[in-house]
Amino acid sequence: MLDIKSVNYDRVLRRYDIQMEAKETPEELAAKMVPKDPVLKKVAEDVVFMRYKNVQDDVAAAFQNYSPEEVIEQGLIKGMDVVGELYGRGIYYLPHVMVAADAMDRGVKLCESKMTGAREMRGKVVMHVAEGDPHDIGKNIAAVLLKSNGYNVIDMGRDVAIEDVVKTVESETPELVTGTALMTTTMSAFPKIADMLQEKGIDIPFICAGGAVNRAYVESYPMGIYANKAIQGPAIAGKAVEGWNWRKLREDWDEIIGGPGAK
Ligand code: B12
Q: Note the pLDDT tens digit of each residue in 154-198.
A: 999 999 999 999 999 999 999 999 999 999 999 999 999 999 999
pLDDT of residue 72: 93
Q: Are 118 and 145 in contact (CB under 8 A)?
A: no
Share of the chain above pLDDT 90, in %: 75
Please tell me whether residue 123 adopts helix, strand or coil conformation. strand
* Helices and strands, counts by H and E, the chain: 15, 5
Which residues are paired to 251 by β-bridges?
none
Closest-lying ligand 1 atom to the alpha carbon of residue 135: 9
pLDDT score of 17 more than 70: no
Q: Note the pLDDT tens digit of each residue in 201-225.
A: 999 999 999 999 999 999 999 999 9
pLDDT score of 8 more than 90: no
Query: What is the distance between the alpha carbons of residues 206 and 209, in angstroms, rounded to a whole number?
Result: 10
Q: At what angle do helices 137-148 and 232-241 cross, to 10 degrees?
A: 50
pLDDT score of 263 more than 50: no
Instruction: Please work out whether the CB of residue 210 comes within 6 Å of at least one atom of ligand 1.
Output: yes
Q: For the beta carbon of residue 155, count every other beta carbon within 10 angstroms.
A: 20
Measuring CA to CA, how many Å separate 8 from each of 2, 3, 11, 23, 95?
13, 11, 6, 19, 33
pLDDT score of 13 more than 80: no
Share of the chain above pLDDT 70, in %: 88
Output the CA 160–ligand 1 centroid distance in Å. 15
| Residue-range domains of the chain with CATH | 12-114 (1.10.1240.10), 123-256 (3.40.50.280)
The per-residue DSSP string of 6-61 comes to: G--HHHHHHHTTHHHHHHS-HHHHHHHHS-SSHHHHHHHHHHHTT-TTTHHHHHHH
Instruction: Please work out whether the CB of residue 98 comes within 6 Å of at least one atom of ligand 1.
Output: yes
**166-172 long-range CB contacts below 8 Å, 24 or more apart?**
166/193, 166/196, 166/197, 166/200, 168/126, 169/126, 169/197, 169/202, 169/204, 170/200, 170/202, 172/124, 172/126
Instruction: Please work out whether the CB of residue 232 comes within 6 Å of at least one atom of ligand 1.
Output: yes
pLDDT score of 260 more than 70: no
